[in-house]
Structure formats: structure tokens, C-alpha cells
């Protein structure tokens, strides 16, 4: 085979073939990958750092050899000597392509790296934190009645605060003596006491009286995005929220790809564990810097995550989660030292709490959504859908709560979409298409104006128009369907069929151009047939999961739908329903809960009673396993159309107009059509 | 100053001046330092590896610059590339001397490296260990009632063993899934349950039924020697005992030198902590190899040590222990994960227990002696003396127990003695001097014959006669006094004064030649005036400590004396009493307890009830601080003579003959004489 090597960039999923010898930076630019460069490829700025991934990537259909890139060269060596390159990094302007390769663009090498979407929801927290600060006066040592400084501190805590017995980790013992002397035998002690009955533990100690400002991180560790909320442990206030892409993306976009990577590459799970822990340290340091607080004041971290991320965070091989019966290594909540997770960016005596998992495919993130939205507390039947790379779905009322998860894939987060990107400034987030002219208008993150408003070009000049994010692609596809550019099977019509030159041919299919792109404001942004298919797969999975729970509950409709997750906070219920993402419900019964998993993490961070509560709740939730349920497959196939065939689209009738069009032709999409037909029987 | 650089070797304390450019190996050979070499200095065998120490060494009176040795050369680089040299090591045959330097000879570079003296005492142990193995049958996972493998294991432990709740560290969670599957849902679980009320903890898990052989290390972490006993946790049997020199010796021979090193060299405490932890890992690996067991089966480590070693082991700066009021960071017993001590040679989930300290100068080693010898359990008044670089002294009966420690220095362990060496094959351990001929005969470790027995030369040819160990120097000094070679002030007479040519002149003082030394069997071995002075200082400190406790107790004599420690096990009570090391007592009331601190460590390793017991005992012991007690100084000065002036030597009269000699001359030793006179008033 004389084909050029295949280059795949993560997290964008953009791919292309390039001649041997092409610099990585050149390939990235040609594909429109968001890879920074300031020095113009001279190996000085190091902004174009990339991390090549090696091994087998069945998901991408490639196997990457160790010599897939050119050898480490003198320019890289010089940079490494002078300023240091992280282990495994290459300079994109120096490394050239030799063979098929998967290249990860780390967050700091992306121009548009800020993740803004997983913001903290404003909510009053019940404050009952595990960690608090107390001031004590300690007796001075007496040579003639010798006891240790720690023993006299324990006596003081017992006498002055009624704390009967207390433990301390080595970092505290190490600083105890200078601290007590500096504070002239008074100190402020950081006490940790969880709800599991272990003795209280001293996490840190400060000389004299201290204002006692202590912080925790509530972390929503998603497959694609890691979001952290820096929280004041006195009042639950969120001081800063920040996010990073999960660097594990380079090992596989979705959970099962990562499990496969671990199975096929010895030590692959260790690599992934290392990658996510490094990212957590980066994130913790960034958020502390942003809030201008001392990272040593971060005492606790609460994690919510799906089971695969849960295992990889803990350093447990997730292989059992890839095959029936999907056994978790541990399902109960986990409390441990953050040092055991190698989180060295925060206080070395910090404590981590991971919410319990519900089942092998229904993780601590689903538990967090349950804690935040609590469908069991209401009489009406609520469907809670938390959309990420995996959707967590809860259905319940005061009588019974069911839970499942559904593998939607990363499309809803803008990944695996041709012009897709993370939700960040410059990303198209809202789309409208005129049903008559078939022309679009849109808004980008970072600007309040629509693209046809006067002054839009000036207002966005500095930001650029860089791609389309998850909520943008949802609206674009729904609007295309409403404007008659898509038929119910999901085919994009040709310019001839639709009457607009924006429908351009791409091989045997078509794409709809949202934005032409210019030198000034960025690349051409279009919705391709592949993008439509990715969204169809994602929304079918989401719908099928919800529908499966409804079957289990024995209902045909629900009273309320709560959309949660980064997606849930930003998309209009109307568009979601046009796509058939969620079961039919009155539009005014669909609400957004923002980042419910993140909110659940914050609730658990602020209250040990709430930790005990979710630990009880998960035992009462009925788990439904989608992976081996034949009805899930049936619902999945039947939900492929726009909107899906099994939902009669009743509540939207009269609200939106869906043109009856069909763009199918003999050679076009026969296979898929056959599948639909079978499912419809 | 045109003086040649001073080279000081540790742990031997041997020192000399050598011209710039002298290889370290050459200097070692000229000084009789035990530094191995097989290849003859060609940089191939690496047996002559040494560790230069840098910084200020007030004890040695030198300050060592970073460039005190020649630069790393090509031979060393080649060796490092091929086989790897440990961080900080140099090849003694390649590195040459440039300036004053302190050079440590690590254990593995010594020919006579085996420490044989701290053997385990045979004693029946009360078995009540914290760690035990249990076999369980675990339910298989059920997709429709999902729980974690760990949760089903907990249910099994509760149902089958009545263990209500249990924790597991990450290493166990990591191996849980493959282990349960390999054992076809049966497993042997290693459970740890201490006496402090924390929930039981799973330390490890094996597939199926396992013989459950688990081991612990009882470690006597001395200033000079580290001794470990590998103990079977089912029956208390000692499978192997092994020892290493404490590598911290290169930072200072005694405790206060190490505290000074930490105070004068920023980060010095961290260096010393790293050194001792590395040595512990080496020792654990060696002892496991010797006993041919899997080091991962070592689940627990119990430490006894003095307060300075205690703090340095835990990574706590010992600075407060160097000044009144000698406050410990913590005095209670410490239980923690061995991982926190970076003991990675054993099971990663291993647990460490450190016995409580009694006071700032009376450590967990003294507590271990109290646990082993238990003077409070008897009606007669017992004096327990545990001799190491620091002596731990207990005095008590059923009514009251007192404790102190006394800084004897390393002389009793053969360090700081001109021909001194660790107790190892080739070391002179027994000495007799004929009072008429003034000729000596001796025995060496590793041979049962005396030096004047027929066949001695053949029997020792392979071993060599390499130096004199602690018990040997004690006997030599006492025998010299009995033979009239020493006067009561400790002066060695000249050949003329003593009538033997073995008393040779060395500058203004004399030395007594024990062994001439030949090419075949080793160097000349003599007892110098400096050696006598070192022994006098050590024995005075020991006696003064014991005497101080007797004052406190209000007694002039004791019923029993128990000699413990490496020294205690090997010296005759008679020689100890001739030197005046211990208070006057009937010879048959003096017994040896062997390594009482090590025995105490083994008792605590085998029984949690005994851990609770020593924790109660230390609270009831009256602590006596020697460092600031004027009477200690008085006793110390008064005890300088051989035997000491304050002990009338009553019980030895008629048993041994002490000649009345005086070798003092005008210029000889006037200063010391004046001191004695003042003390005698």
C-alpha cells in the first residue's frame, strides 16, 4: 500500500492523510485542528506541544508504532534543556509524520482552551462539611512531665472542643512543632470528621488564630470534560469553576474504547490513570490560581464520575466493566487520602470522597444527579436526563426510582463532529434557519449578537468563529429538519432538492454550510452527513434509555423532563424534542437543571449528612442494565428518524412545522433504510 | 595552610591526611578501613563504592565542599551506563581526594559486612497478632442485582467470619477483581485489626485457599546498627535475623551530631530520613531473600528506636530534641501505612507500628526493653541497662519504675575505636592478658579457638583478624587494668613501666599491641590511649545514668542487674564491673537479657494486647532527664576512673586482683587529673 500515513487528532477526532515528513503542526493547520503556535514553527514558543499516543486503537482503526513520528531532534532537545518538556510531549513544529499516528492536543496547546459550559449552578447548600477549623490553646512542654506536642494538642482539642480522640497524618506531625512555637502555643486546627465513624483526623494546623478559610473541590470527572468547582467550605460559595478536557481522550473517545485500550495494551490502564491524575493536578492548580487562594487550603475533593472513570481514577483496571456482568470492583462510596490519588497540587493531607456507584454502567455521576434532582422526593413522575459522553437517566417518583445509563458518545459535546469543538469562545452555540430562504443565522459563545445583527463582525473579530459546540450542533440539526433541508431519515438534500446553494456536495452525500469562513474569522463551518449520523446515533441511544425505563415503570409518558449536564443547560427543549432526543412531553414540562452531576458533587462536598443520604438512596434505586436488554436495541433502532418513529410528536404539532420531504435515492442510504424498516415492523 | 586534606571514613571513624590526588580506595587501605575491591582498582567490580557526604560536620571538625572529590570520570560513567550506580555513589578507586571530606562506606562495600550480634533471643511469644488470614467464599456478581466485588467480599467476611465492617486500601481494590476470578470466587483475605478501635482493614487477598503464611519485621532501629527479625505471624518464630549499619552515621556518629547536622544543613533531616528508609528497604529485601520468602508476604513492621531515630524515621525534624525541654513531636505509639514511610520492599498495604516513647531522651527502644524485661512485675529491685550508642536504663520493682537514657556514644559498638569494627567475623571479641607475661590471647568471631590454641592460624586463615568489636574492647581494657598495664586514671604505661615491649610509644602516649598483624591475617591491632579515653567516657555515662536513677529511687544498691543490647549479650559481668560500667552488685546477680529492645519489638509484633500493655506501662514510668541534671554530671566525672572512684568495688574484692599502679607523669594527663580531684571533694 502506498497510501500516506493517517493522522488522527484528539480530542477533536479530526483526521487526514499526509505525506511522510509533514510536520504535525502543518497537518493540524490543514485539518483546522485547534493547535496553538506563536513562534511560527521555530521551536521557541512551545505552544504547539502535542502528545503522541502509541499502541492499538481499534476505535480509530489504527495501530501506532513507537517510531510513528520522526526522532526527537536538536531543537526539541534544546527546548527541553532550557525549559523542560513534559514526559511524552513533542513539539508539533519539529516532529514529522512517518506512519499512522494518534496525536493528542493537550489543553494548554489549544488556543480556545477555556471550557466555560460546566458552570456551577447557584443553589443554597446545606452546610454540614466534614472539614472545619478550630482554634486551640496548647500547654507548653514540661521536661519533668514529658509528653509529645501532639499529645498536648489532643488534650486541648478534647478539653476545648469536646473532640475525644483524633488522628494526624505524617504531614501534620511534620509541621506540628514549628507551628505551635510560631503561634506561641496557640493554633488553628483543621479537623476532618466524616460520617463513617472513623476518629476525627487533623488535616493541617496553622500558627495562632487563623481566619479558617478552607476549600474543597467538587469535581465532575466526565469522559470528555473534567469540571471543577472551588467551593468555600464555610458557606458553600463557589469561588471559581474551571474545566479541562479529559486527556484520556487520546486513548479512546468513549468509555468502551478506553476499556478496549486497557485490554489490548498492557499497562494501558496505568497510562490512563496517570493521565487523568496529571490533569486533575493541573486543574486544581489553575483553579486555585484563578481564585487567588493558596492551594494548600484545599482540604477535600469530592468526585462524581461514571464507573469507568471511577476505576481509572482509583487505578483499578476497568476490564470487568467491558463485559457482562459488568462487575464493579467496588460500588460503595470511597473515602481516601488525596495523596493516594497522587493529587499533589492540594494539601498533602487532603481527603477525597467518591460518591457511590449505582451499577456497572450507572456511576457516581448518576448518584450525584439523584442527589441533586431527587426524583424520589416528588409525587409526579420525573425523567432526569444528564447528557455527557454517557447519558445518565433517572425516572421516578415517591414510589420508585429507576436508573440506567446510555452510551450516547461524544457528539453532544461537540466531539466527532466535523467542525465540532468544546463549548468555548468562538463556538457556534445557537442556530436558526429561515424556512423560506434556507439561510442560517447563529450566535457564538462570547458574543450576545446574532450573526445577522449589525456590528456582529466587529464584535467577534477578536474571538473568531472557530467551530460548533454541542448545543450548536443540536440546534443546527433540528433547524435543518424544520427548514426542510433534512428528511425524516436524516439525509441532507442536494442544492437542487432543497433549493439552496448552501447544500453542497461532498462525495455521494451533502453538507449544509453554516458559515463560509474567511481569512479573518476562521474556517468554513458546515454540517455534514456524517455529523447528522453521529447526532442520530447519540439521540437514539438517549431516547432508547429513557424509553427502557418507561417500559420498566410501565408508563407511556412522564409528567416532567429535567435536562441536565452541560448540554441540558444550553439547549432549547423545542430543539431537543424536534430531534426526538427525549420522550414526548408538553414543552412547559421540560426544564433545565444545569450541571446536575456537578451540583450533586457540591452538595456532597458541603454536607456529610448528604453523603450518608446518597449512600442510602443508591441502595433503593432500581438499576436497569441497557447493554444486554433486547428492548434497548429495539428502541434504539426505532428512534433513528427525525423525530423518531415511535414518538408521535404529539405535543409539538402546531408549534413547529415539519416539512414532509424525502431525499432518499437508490444508491444513497439503502442499508440504513432497511434497518429502519425492520425495526418498524 | 599547606596541610594535606583530612579524610574521615564512616562508620569506622578512621581518619588521616592524604595528598591531593590520592584515590579514596588507597586512603581506605592505608587507614585499614574495611572497603572491598575485587578488580584491583580498575573500575570494573564496583565493590569499592562509597558515598561522600557534603556539608558541615561540627562533630568531625570539617566542612565538606561539593568538589571535595575529583570530578565524575569516564570510568565511573561507563560503569553507571552499563550497570547503574546508586545516586550519590562514587567508585573509591576512581574518585580522588581534593579537600577535606567525609566518606561513608556503605554496608555492601564492606568485606566484613555481616552483623551477627543482634540475634533474636529465643523466647515463647504470646500470639495475638494484628494480622491474620481468613478463607472466604464470595457470591458471584449478578447483573440484575449489581453490587461491587468488594461489597460482596464484605458480606462474605461478615457472614463467614463475623467481621462486621472492613476497609481496604487501593492496592487491594486494584487486585480484587482478578483475584476473585482466579480463585473461582474463593479467596484468602489478610485482615489487619489493631487495638485502637479502627475498623479492620484488608491488607491483601490471594486467590482460593492459601496457607496464609504471613510475616512481620521487628526492627530495632539503632543509631549505629539496624537489626531486623523476620517473624512468622502465626507462631512468632524468627525465620531470619539480619542487620545493617545505619547509613545516617555519615551525618554524625551519635544522636546529637545528627540533630546538629539537621540544624546546620538545610534539608539535612530530609537527607537522613531518606538514608534510613533506603537502608530499611535494603534490609527488608535481604532478609526476605535470606529466608526465601516473598517480600510481599511481609505485612507488618514494628519499630523500636530512640526519639531522634523515631523522628527521622517519620520524617520529622528532630531539632526540638536537641534543646531543653526536649519536646517530642508525638510520644504516643504511632500506627500508619508502611507506604507512608516509603517502605516499598514489602507489601504495599503493610502497616507499621512504632512503640510509644517515654520522654524526649527516652524512646520507644526503652519502652521495648520495659516490655521485654518488665522490672515492674517483680518485687526485687532490678536495674536494666540496654547499651547501644545511647544506653536505655530502667530501674524498678513492683512499686515504681524509673527510666532514663544516657549518651554513651558509639565506642561500645566498636566505632570510634582505632582498630574498632562492627561485631562480624574476624573481629576480636574475647581477650585475656596474662598478668605475669603481659601477653594477650584472644578469640575472634567465627572461630571457637583461642589465639594460642594449636590450629588457630589455620582455622582463621580464611576469615582474617580484622579488628576489635565492642565486647572485645571492653574485655581488652578491663584485662589491661587487671594486668597492670593501665593505672586507675586510665593511662597506659610505657614498655619500661609495664615491663612489656607490647606497650609501644605513640607520640606522647602509649598503645598496647593485641595482635601484630601480618600480610596474611590482617593489620596490627592495638588499644591506644584514645581508645581507653573513649571507653572511659562511654562507661562513665552509662554508670552515671544508672546512679542517677538509684539516687531518684533513694537506694545505694540494686538486687539484680540485667545487661541488654548487643553488648549485654556478649560481655562477662566481671569485665563490666572491673571497668565500673555498672553499679556494684554480686557477680551472680548480673545476667544477660540479650537484645531486649529487639525482643520487645517482637513481643509487640506478635500481640496487640502487648501493644496496649506497653502503651499503659509508659504512662506509669517515671522519666528522669539526664541532660539537665547536675548530679548526672557529677556522677559522670566521678565515674571516670577504672574502676570508678565512687564504687568501692566491694563485691569484686577477692575475685580479681587490681594492681596499684600509677603511670602519670608531669606532662602526661594533668588536666584530666585535676578534674578527678575536684569531683572527689
H or E stretch at B220: strand B215-221
Task: Tell me what pLDDT residue B37 has.
Answer: 67
**Residue B71: other Cβ atoms inside 10 A:** 9
- What is the 3 state secondary structure string of B138-199? CCCCCCCCCCCHHHHHHHHHHHHHCCCCCEECHHHHHHHHHHHHHCCCEEEEEEECCCCCCC
Model confidence pLDDT, tens digit, residues A131-176 = 999 999 999 999 888 899 999 999 999 999 999 889 998 999 999 9
Model confidence pLDDT, tens digit, residues A515-524 = 987 766 678 8
Model confidence pLDDT, tens digit, residues A448-472 = 999 999 999 888 888 888 889 888 9
| Domain at A131-207, CATH from 3.10.20.880, 3.90.550.10, 3.40.605.10, 3.40.1440.10 | 3.10.20.880
Say whether A173 and B316 touch across the interface (CB within 8 A). Answer: yes
Give the model's confidence band at B668: pLDDT under 50 very low, under 70 low, under 90 confident, else very high: very low
Give the model's confidence band at A676: pLDDT under 50 very low, under 70 low, under 90 confident, else very high: very low
Contact list in A for residue B319 (CB cut-off 8 A) is 177
| Domain at B217-360, CATH from 3.30.420.480, 3.30.360.10, 1.10.645.10, 3.20.20.450 | 3.30.420.480
Closest Cβ–Cβ partner in B174, B197, B332 for A148: B332
Euclidean distance between CA atoms A673 and B566, whole angstroms:
88
Task: Tell me what pLDDT residue B657 has.
Answer: 77
| Residue of chain A whose Cα is closest to the Cα of B317 | A174
CATH 3.30.420.480 positions along chain B are 217-360
Model confidence pLDDT, tens digit, residues A432-450 = 999 999 999 999 988 899 9
Contact list in A for residue B148 (CB cut-off 8 A) is 327-332, 357
Grid coordinates belonging to A266: 498492557
Grid coordinates belonging to A484: 426542510
Q: Above 80 in pLDDT, residue B475?
A: yes
Eight-class DSSP state of A96 = B
Task: Tell me what pLDDT residue A60 has.
Answer: 72
Q: Above 80 in pLDDT, residue B40?
A: no
Task: Tell me what pLDDT residue A62 has.
Answer: 82
- How many CB pairs (< 8 A) connect A and B? 141
The larger pLDDT score, comparing residue B544 to residue B14, is at B544
Grouping H, G, I as helix, E, B as strand and the rest as coil, residue A207 is strand
Fold designation for A6-109: Ubiquitin-like (UB roll) (3.10.20)
The larger pLDDT score, comparing residue A126 to residue B293, is at B293
Model confidence pLDDT, tens digit, residues B309-368 = 999 999 999 999 988 899 999 999 999 999 999 999 999 999 999 999 999 889 999 999
Mean pLDDT of chain B, nearest integer:
87
Mean pLDDT of chain A, nearest integer:
87
CA geometry: angle A367, A368, A374, nearest 5 deg = 80
- Alpha carbon of B173: minimum distance to chain A alpha carbons (Å): 7
Say whether A315 and B174 touch across the interface (CB within 8 A). Answer: yes
Give the model's confidence band at B403: pLDDT under 50 very low, under 70 low, under 90 confident, else very high: very high
Euclidean distance between CA atoms B276 and B228, whole angstroms:
13
The larger pLDDT score, comparing residue B406 to residue B389, is at B406
Dmax (CA) of chain B? 99
Work out the average pLDDT over A629-647: 81
Residue with cell 582474617: B464
Q: CB of A306 within 8 A of CB of A256?
A: no
The burial of A604, by beta-carbon neighbours within 10 Å (0-12 exposed, 13-18 middle, 19 or more buried), is given as buried
Q: Above 70 in pLDDT, residue A55?
A: yes
Interface of B with A in 582-641 (CB under 8 A): 623, 625, 628
Sheet order of strands, B427-433 included: B440-444, B427-433, B467-468
A185 φ/ψ sector (left φ>0, alpha ψ -120 to 50, else beta): left
Work out the average pLDDT over B268-293: 95
Q: Above 50 in pLDDT, residue B456?
A: yes
Model confidence pLDDT, tens digit, residues A327-385 = 999 999 999 999 999 999 999 999 999 999 999 889 999 999 999 999 999 999 999 99
Work out the average pLDDT over A512-535: 87
**Residue B412: other Cβ atoms inside 10 A:** 31
Give the model's confidence band at B39: pLDDT under 50 very low, under 70 low, under 90 confident, else very high: low
CA geometry: angle B253, B254, B255, nearest 5 deg = 135
Work out the average pLDDT over A407-424: 81
Give the model's confidence band at A495: pLDDT under 50 very low, under 70 low, under 90 confident, else very high: very high
Model confidence pLDDT, tens digit, residues B134-171 = 999 999 999 888 899 999 999 999 999 999 889 998 99
Task: Tell me what pLDDT residue A674 has.
Answer: 39
A67-76, A424-433, B519-528: segment of lowest average pLDDT: B519-528
Give the model's confidence band at A208: pLDDT under 50 very low, under 70 low, under 90 confident, else very high: very high
Q: Above 60 in pLDDT, residue B278?
A: yes
Interface of B with A in 308-327 (CB under 8 A): 314-317, 319-320, 324-327
H or E stretch at B443: strand B440-444
Grouping H, G, I as helix, E, B as strand and the rest as coil, residue A231 is strand
Euclidean distance between CA atoms A282 and A300, whole angstroms:
16
Grid coordinates belonging to A469: 459546540
A446-455, B401-410, B643-652, B658-667: segment of lowest average pLDDT: B643-652
Task: Tell me what pLDDT residue A569 has.
Answer: 65
Contact list in B for residue A314 (CB cut-off 8 A) is 170, 173-174
Task: Tell me what pLDDT residue A671 has.
Answer: 39
Backbone angles phi, psi at A629, to 5 degrees: -95, 115
**Residue B551: other Cβ atoms inside 10 A:** 16
Q: Above 60 in pLDDT, residue A645?
A: no
Say whether A331 and B174 touch across the interface (CB within 8 A). Answer: no
Euclidean distance between CA atoms A532 and A435, whole angstroms:
19
Model confidence pLDDT, tens digit, residues B519-560 = 666 678 999 999 999 999 999 999 999 999 999 999 998 999
Q: Above 70 in pLDDT, residue A679?
A: no
Task: Tell me what pLDDT residue A472 has.
Answer: 92
- What is the 3 state secondary structure string of A474-531? HHHHHHHHHCCCECCCCCECCHHHHCCCCEEEECCEEEEEEECCECCCECCEEEEHHH
Q: Above 60 in pLDDT, residue A213?
A: yes
Q: Above 60 in pLDDT, residue A666?
A: no
The larger pLDDT score, comparing residue B14 to residue A285, is at A285
Give the model's confidence band at A611: pLDDT under 50 very low, under 70 low, under 90 confident, else very high: very high
Task: Tell me what pLDDT residue A43 has.
Answer: 72
Task: Tell me what pLDDT residue A471 has.
Answer: 87
Give the model's confidence band at B569: pLDDT under 50 very low, under 70 low, under 90 confident, else very high: low
ipTM entry: 0.78
Beta-carbon contacts of residue A170 (< 8 Å; ≥ 6 apart): B314, B315, B336, B340
Euclidean distance between CA atoms A154 and A161, whole angstroms:
10
H or E stretch at B243: strand B238-245
Euclidean distance between CA atoms B147 and A462, whole angstroms:
52
Interface of A with B in 438-457 (CB under 8 A): none
Beta-carbon contacts of residue A564 (< 8 Å; ≥ 6 apart): A369, A372, A373, A384, A385, A386, A387, A592, A593, A594, A595, A596, A597
Say whether A144 and B625 touch across the interface (CB within 8 A). Answer: yes
Work out the average pLDDT over A496-512: 94
Eight-class DSSP state of A673 = H
Euclidean distance between CA atoms B423 and B426, whole angstroms:
9
Sheet order of strands, B90-91 included: B15-17, B6-10, B101-104, B49-53, B90-91
Give the model's confidence band at A40: pLDDT under 50 very low, under 70 low, under 90 confident, else very high: low
CATH 3.10.20.880 positions along chain A are 131-207
Characterize A41-67 residue by residue with b for buried, 16 or more Cβ atoms within 10 angstroms of its Cβ, and e for exposed.
Answer: bebebbbbbbbbbbbbbebbebebeee
Task: Tell me what pLDDT residue A654 has.
Answer: 65
Fold designation for A216-361: Nucleotidyltransferase; domain 5 (3.30.420)
Q: Above 60 in pLDDT, residue B677?
A: no
Task: Tell me what pLDDT residue A30 has.
Answer: 79
C-alpha closest to that of A5 among B609, A14, A16: A16
C-alpha closest to that of A356 among A326, A390, A331: A331
Beta-carbon contacts of residue B70 (< 8 Å; ≥ 6 apart): B21, B94, B95, B96, B97, B98
C-alpha closest to that of B514 among B412, B419, B642, B416: B419
- For CA atoms B204, B206, B208, B214, the dihedral sign is negative
C-alpha closest to that of B208 among B190, B181, B233: B181
Grouping H, G, I as helix, E, B as strand and the rest as coil, residue A469 is coil
Q: Above 50 in pLDDT, residue B369?
A: yes
Closest Cβ–Cβ partner in B148, B623, B625 for A332: B148
Say whether A177 and B327 touch across the interface (CB within 8 A). Answer: yes
CATH 3.10.20.30 positions along chain B are 6-109
The larger pLDDT score, comparing residue B316 to residue B650, is at B316
CA geometry: angle A410, A412, A418, nearest 5 deg = 75
Q: Above 60 in pLDDT, residue B405?
A: yes
The larger pLDDT score, comparing residue A356 to residue B247, is at A356
Model confidence pLDDT, tens digit, residues B229-244 = 999 999 899 999 988 8
Contact list in B for residue A153 (CB cut-off 8 A) is none
Amino acid at each position: 500500500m502506498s497510501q500516506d500515513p493517517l493522522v488522527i487528532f484528539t480530542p477533536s477526532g479530526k483526521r487526514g492523510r499526509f505525506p511522510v515528513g509533514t510536520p504535525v503542526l502543518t497537518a493540524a493547520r490543514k485539518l483546522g485542528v485547534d493547535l496553538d503556535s506563536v513562534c511560527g514553527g521555530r521551536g521557541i514558543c512551545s505552544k504547539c506541544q502535542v502528545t503522541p499516543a502509541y499502541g492499538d486503537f481499534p476505535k480509530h482503526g489504527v495501530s501506532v508504532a513507537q517510531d510513528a513520528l520522526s526522532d526527537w531532534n536538536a531543537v526539541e532537545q534544546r527546548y527541553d534543556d532550557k525549559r523542560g518538556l513534559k514526559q511524552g510531549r513533542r513539539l508539533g513544529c519539529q516532529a514529522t509524520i512517518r506512519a499512522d499516528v494518534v496525536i493528542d492536543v493537550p489543553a494548554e496547546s489549544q488556543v480556545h482552551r477555556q471550557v466555560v459550559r460546566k458552570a456551577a449552578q447557584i443553589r443554597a447548600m446545606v452546610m454540614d462539611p466534614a472539614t472545619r477549623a478550630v482554634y486551640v490553646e496548647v500547654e507548653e512542654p514540661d521536661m519533668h512531665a514529658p509528653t509529645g506536642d501532639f499529645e498536648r494538642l489532643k488534650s486541648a482539642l478534647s478539653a476545648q472542643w469536646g473532640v475525644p480522640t483524633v488522628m494526624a497524618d505524617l504531614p501534620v506531625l511534620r509541621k506540628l512543632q514549628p507551628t505551635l512555637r510560631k503561634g506561641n502555643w496557640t493554633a488553628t486546627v483543621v479537623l476532618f470528621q466524616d460520617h463513617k465513624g472513623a476518629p476525627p483526623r487533623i488535616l493541617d494546623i496553622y500558627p495562632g488564630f487563623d481566619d479558617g478559610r478552607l476549600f474543597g473541590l467538587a469535581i465532575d470527572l466526565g469522559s470528555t470534560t473534567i469540571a471543577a468547582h472551588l467551593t468555600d467550605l464555610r458557606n458553600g460559595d463557589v469561588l471559581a469553576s474551571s474545566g479541562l478536557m479529559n486527556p484520556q481522550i487520546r486513548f479512546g473517545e468513549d468509555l468502551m474504547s478506553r476499556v478496549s485500550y486497557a485490554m489490548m495494551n498492557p499497562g494501558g490502564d496505568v497510562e490512563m490513570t496517570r493521565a487523568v491524575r496529571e490533569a486533575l493536578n493541573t486543574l486544581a492548580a489553575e483553579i486555585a490560581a484563578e481564585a487567588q487562594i493558596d492551594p494548600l487550603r484545599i482540604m477535600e475533593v469530592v468526585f462524581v464520575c461514571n464507573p469507568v472513570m471511577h476505576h481509572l481514577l482509583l487505578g483499578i483496571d476497568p476490564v470487568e466493566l467491558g463485559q457482562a456482568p459488568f462487575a464493579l470492583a467496588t460500588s460503595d462510596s470511597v473515602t481516601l487520602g488525596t495523596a493516594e490519588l497522587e493529587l499533589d497540587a492540594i494539601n498533602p493531607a487532603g481527603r477525597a470522597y467518591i460518591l457511590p456507584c449505582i451499577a456497572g454502567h450507572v456511576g457516581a455521576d448518576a448518584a450525584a444527579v439523584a442527589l441533586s434532582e431527587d426524583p424520589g422526593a416528588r409525587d409526579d413522575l420525573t425523567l432526569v436526563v444528564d447528557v455527557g459522553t454517557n447519558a445518565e437517566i433517572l425516572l421516578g417518583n415517591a414510589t420508585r426510582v429507576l436508573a440506567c445509563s446510555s452510551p450516547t458518545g461524544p457528539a453532544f459535546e461537540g466531539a466527532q463532529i466535523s467542525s465540532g469543538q468544546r463549548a468555548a469562545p468562538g463556538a457556534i452555540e445557537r442556530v436558526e434557519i429561515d424556512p423560506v430562504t434556507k439561510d442560517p443565522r447563529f450566535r457564538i459563545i462570547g458574543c450576545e449578537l446574532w450573526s445577522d445583527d449589525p456590528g456582529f463582525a466587529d464584535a467577534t473579530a477578536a474571538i473568531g468563529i472557530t467551530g460548533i459546540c454541542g448545543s450548536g450542533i443540536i440546534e443546527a440539526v433540528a433547524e435543518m429538519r424544520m427548514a426542510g433541508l433534512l428528511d425524516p431519515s436524516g439525509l441532507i438534500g442536494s442544492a437542487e432538492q432543497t433549493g439552496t446553494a448552501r447544500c453542497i456536495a461532498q462525495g455521494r452525500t451533502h453538507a449544509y454550510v453554516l458559515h463560509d469562513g474567511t481569512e479573518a474569522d476562521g474556517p468554513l463551518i458546515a454540517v455534514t452527513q456524517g455529523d447528522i449520523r453521529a447526532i442520530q446515533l447519540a439521540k437514539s441511544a438517549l431516547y432508547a434509555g429513557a424509553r427502557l425505563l418507561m417500559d420498566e415503570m410501565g408508563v407511556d409518558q412522564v409528567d416532567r423532563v429535567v435536562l441536565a449536564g452541560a448540554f441540558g443547560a444550553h439547549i432549547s427543549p423545542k430543539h431537543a424534542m424536534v430531534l426526538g432526543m427525549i420522550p414526548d412531553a408538553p414543552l412547559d414540562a421540560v426544564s433545565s437543571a444545569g450541571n446536575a452531576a456537578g451540583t450533586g458533587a457540591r452538595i456532597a462536598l458541603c454536607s456529610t449528612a448528604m453523603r450518608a443520604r446518597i449512600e442510602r438512596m443508591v441502595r433503593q434505586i432500581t438499576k436497569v442494565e441497557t447493554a444486554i436488554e433486547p428492548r434497548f436495541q429495539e428502541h434504539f433502532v426505532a428512534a433513528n428518524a427525525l423525530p423518531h418513529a415511535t414518538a408521535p410528536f404529539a405535543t409539538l404539532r402546531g408549534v413547529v412545522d415539519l416539512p414532509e420531504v424525502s431525499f432518499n435515492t437508490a444508491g444513497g442510504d439503502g442499508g440504513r433504510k432497511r434497518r429502519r424498516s425492520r425495526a418498524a415492523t
